Amino acid sequence: MTTFTTHTFPRTRIATLDVFGAGKRKQHVAALLEIDVTLGREKIRELGDRVSFTAWLIRVIGLTLKEHERIAAYLLGKRRLVIFRGHQRLPDR
């Protein structure tokens, strides 16, 4: 079962959120990222054919989100942040 907590921002943060809102209406530039995955590929090679690179990458992203829950938080209005805790496992096929 997924649970969540909410945190309320102080009124002084509303101005910061308004600046973010104005930025959404501006033009954006796409960016390319270069990430060194040498260590990850070495770990995958140690495991053999049991793990694909995509599966490893998804696992790393999931573990990062679990450790830093605020990354996946949801902004509710201008003053509340909803942080989801826990997860629901999908049934095995």
Residue 9 lies in a domain: yes
Residue 45 lies in a domain: yes
DSSP assignment of 12-62 equals GGHHHHHHHHHHHTS-----------HHHHHHHHHHGGG--HHHHHHHHHH
- Domain span at 43: 3-14+36-85
Supply the pTM of this predicted model: 0.59
63-87 pLDDT, tens digit per residue, is 888 888 888 888 887 778 888 876 6
**Which regions in the chain score pLDDT beneath 50?**
90, 92-93
* pLDDT value, residue 66: 82
Residue 21 lies in a domain: no
Residue 27 lies in a domain: no
Residue 58 lies in a domain: yes
Residues with Cβ within 8 Å of residue 36, at least 6 apart in sequence: none
CA 89, CA 62: separation in Å to the nearest integer? Answer: 13
The total number of structural domains in the chain stands at: 1
Q: For the chain, what is the largest distance between any 2 Cα atoms, rounded to a whole number of angstroms? A: 53
What is the total residue count of the chain? 93
